[in-house]
Structure 1
Amino acid sequence: MNVYAEPTTEGERVLKSVLGMTPHTQLSGVFVRAMGRVDGVTYAVCGGHLWRINLDGSANDLGAVDTGPASMCGNNGYVCVQAGTRYFVYDPQTDTLTEPAAGAFSDIGSVEFYGNYTVLTEAGGRLFQWSALANPTSLPGMNFSTADGKDDNLLRAFAMDGRLYLFKAESTEMWFNTGEAGADAMQRVAGGVWDIGLLSRNMICRFEGGAFIVGSDNRAHLVSSGGFQPVSTPPVESAIKLLKPQACLTYADEGHTFFAIIFKDAPAWVYDLATGEWHERAEGVNHGPWNVAASCLLGKEWAVGRNNGEISVLRRTNADGSQPLVREITSRTLRVDGQRAILREFELFLQQGYSSGTIYLQLSRDGGSTWTLPKPKAIGGQGEYGRRTIWRNLGQARALTAKIRWTEPNDCCLSTQARVVT
């Protein structure tokens, strides 16, 4: 929880803290619905308005759009926004926000840039349309087609691999740009239909070379090169089925690309593309839900939009603003041939001498059903490089599970291995 594994050059693994959240700016209203980056500038939809997020911590209200789900893309400098079921275009050159006249349909479900076109999907339908070439303010009435490979409705358009993927409720279609003009500009790839759709419209995020989705089959997939690769584990799939997934978002940290599945009432599950492993991301001392809804680069750092309207930057602060970042690790259960054994020593291997603080150990002798009270141990201060972290005389057990927890806003890496003496 709130840590991930980093392989070392020696073949071992070190557990590192996830990035903390540093408040950057507070937008008026609540619910950051979408974030996007156009020509190096970061924008957000929040509280029924379009905002420009500035590097100095300020934000500019660019005008009213609509409430409800949103998506965003660029097109030759323009900022294209779907909010609710309406479509808006912001022109940074003239600082104007307009709502273009409807084309083939008026209820818009998503927007995406593809091949110098802005592609719009129909909310609650199977039609999709595209703007005039390099002009998202013009929606010719004949520039449309139907995603009819399967009899289900569109949820999201997504461009990758030089193709346009149309994600639907129970299937996905792949289209391409023919190079023709007008109504003949788009055509479906032969055989480009899959029996996996999106669980909901926000269950998708982009990475270089593909997308991460939660599919209609209640599994997490990497989508690239026309294929779906499932990456979820049984615990992740159980969470998807039983809880309330809200959105997927991406961010990066020191060579790791992460994809987070955000839940309404539970910590997020986060997939590490570099290692193929999962961890959980939570907030607060009680490991509450990670209260974020969208992500985007802000300058050279990743930022997240929160449900309270706050834009926060992800940094190695080891804290979530003024709240502690509680990091917790639970071991597998160790058994000593079914016999009762005395636990004489339990030693962790930490990065010593660089930060001070306290780390806590809890033990379970029944597979994690009950736990002992936390047992503190000082990490050691600056310069105490040779200090060891050992708990002694911990009682008897036939089975042993260990839980490690620390909360101080200090960087503390530790090995995935421990020394146990019985």
Structure 2
Amino acid sequence: MLVELVGQSGRDPDNVSANPARLVNVYAERTTEGERVLKSVLGMDFHTQLDGVFVRSMGRVDGVTYAVCGGRLWRINMDGSSTALGDLDTGSASICGNNGYVCVQAGTRYFVYDPDTDTITEPAAGAFSDIGSVEFFGNYTVLTEAGGRRFQWSALADPADLPGLNFSTADGKDDNLLRAFAMDGRLYLFKEESTELWYNTGEAGAEAMARVAGGVWDIGLLARNMICRFEGGAFIVGSDNRAHLVSSGGFQPVSTPPVETAIKINRPQACLTYADEGHTFCAIIFKDCPAWCYDLATGEWHERAEGVNLGPWNVAASCLLGREWAIGRNDGQISILRRSNSDGPTPLTREITSRTLRMDGVRTILREFELFPQQGFSAGTINLHISRDGGSTWSLPKPKPIGGQGEYGRRIMWRQLGQARALAVRIRWTMPRDMCLSTQARIAT
């Protein structure tokens, strides 16, 4: 019989036996014939090494990619080099543009970089001096107050001029601001437990911003870095410990119970976005477990890990570099996401764990198990592991070669796998080429 091995990652970290299904470093897509196949995630190719650790933020201004790392602002060049542009401050950071200027919040300070003069200045404080984030909105640079509820905006098209009266207070709820985000022509002010929606009135100076009537929601950000932008909206982890898509003035929850359990019991660090051949992914990065990645094209989740032991994905920010996606890593490295099937010098390990196949409570002899991978492109080996207890324990690997160049007819089949009342399988491979795999398998009993 043909069985569907897995749909999306569904393993609940605190109840593995309920559903052990995982997609690690693979994601599902549908072919033109309607078949579901599993495809490798993009690998990481080294691009440049910044002098410092912890890439705090990345942003693109006028087609140029910038990063904040090691208390400095850096320009990431297309040729694989990087240029230190000047000293900032340490701590969390955000980047936006404004008519060619690069506006940076670093720590609780605000800086403006002018590419024409290659200089960084720290403008005089306006309504307040402790800055929590920066964002471009309607030819203004908007700055939120760190640890407060006020936000201010620059003079029109001049991010270095902060008039003292150009501010307002996000007081729809009694909680502090974390991040400003401009989307669909409006300004979203994300707070600790709520979000407010503001608009540009068209007036000048202190009257330039006003809150939309009824534009207050009882969902805020879990932390200031738990947000990323995609075309048409934003992806956040909210103060309710759920993942949401935010667009058109509304919140759409997209997290599953396993994702929400991971958010609750692990340590989420940031959200970032990237794209691959028609799929846009929004990732929740964790300090102590693989990232959970949401596919906007399919509405499904997979996991992104690195290393042979499938550890946490050690990244912190993402941004376009030319036409490719660059990511900033915690060690100061900038990498490019490409279909290289490796994470730098480390092979990209891909692993699929099925849901538990229950044999109606009857001990059943498993005579054959067959997979349907893409073949004929390069030699490689697939390892099969078997669990007979709902994914709690696993057998030693049972390797099978998939065939070499031009060898298309080899059947990938394991025989005489013993008896089981409940069966789960785990498939793992590390070959340095892309290989699609059908989500279906054949089981003969």
Please state which band the TM-score falls in when normalised by the shorter chain. Answer: over 0.9
- Report the AA paired with residue 142 of structure 2: V
Deviation at 1:9, TM superposition (A): 1.3
TM-score, scaled to structure 1 = 0.99
The residue aligned with 1:106 is 129
1:350 counterpart (373, 377, 382): 373
Deviation at 1:355, TM superposition (A): 2.0
Instruction: Give the distance between the partners of 1:332 and 1:43, measured in 2 at CA.
Output: 43
2:109 counterpart (70, 86, 96): 86
2:328 counterpart (300, 305, 313): 305
Instruction: Give the distance between the partners of 1:44 and 1:51, measured in 2 at CA.
Output: 5
The residue aligned with 1:236 is 259
2:36 counterpart (8, 13, 17): 13
Alignment of 1:149-188 (within 5 A): 149-188=172-211
Instruction: Give the distance between the partners of 1:362 and 1:151, measured in 2 at CA.
Output: 53
Report SS of the residue matched to 1:350: coil
Matched, 1:54 2:77: yes
Q: Which consecutive unaligned segments of at least 5 residues does structure 1 have?
A: none
The residue aligned with 1:124 is 147
The residue aligned with 2:163 is 140
Deviation at 1:122, TM superposition (A): 0.2
The residue aligned with 2:5 is none
Question: Quick check: 1:355–1:411 contact (8 Å CA) kept in 2?
Answer: no
Instruction: Give the distance between the partners of 1:366 and 1:336, measured in 2 at CA.
Output: 12
Instruction: Give the distance between the partners of 2:35 and 2:71, measured in 1 at CA.
Output: 49
Q: Percent identity?
A: 84
Report SS of the residue matched to 1:401: strand
Instruction: Give the distance between the partners of 2:302 and 2:125, measured in 1 at CA.
Output: 44
Instruction: Give the distance between the partners of 1:245 and 1:348, measured in 2 at CA.
Output: 35
Matched, 1:287 2:278: no
Report SS of the residue matched to 2:439: strand
Alignment of 1:257-276 (within 5 A): 257-276=280-299
The residue aligned with 1:63 is 86
Instruction: Give the distance between the partners of 2:340 and 2:363, measured in 1 at CA.
Output: 42
The residue aligned with 2:62 is 39
Q: Which consecutive unaligned segments of at least 5 residues does structure 2 have?
A: 1-23
Matched, 1:190 2:216: no
Q: Please identify runs of 4+ aligned residues in structure 1 that moved more than 3 A.
A: none
Instruction: Give the distance between the partners of 1:198 and 1:333, measured in 2 at CA.
Output: 35
> Which has the higher mean CA deviation after the structures are superposed, 327-336 or 110-119?
327-336
Instruction: Give the distance between the partners of 2:444 and 2:183, measured in 1 at CA.
Output: 53
Question: Quick check: 1:356–1:410 contact (8 Å CA) kept in 2?
Answer: no
Alignment of 1:71-82 (within 5 A): 71-82=94-105
Deviation at 1:337, TM superposition (A): 2.0
- Report the AA paired with residue 58 of structure 1: S
The residue aligned with 2:419 is 396
Instruction: Give the distance between the partners of 2:269 and 2:358, measured in 1 at CA.
Output: 39
Question: Quick check: 1:355–1:412 contact (8 Å CA) kept in 2?
Answer: no
1:368 counterpart (391, 402, 427): 391
How many residues are paired up? Answer: 422
Deviation at 1:387, TM superposition (A): 1.4
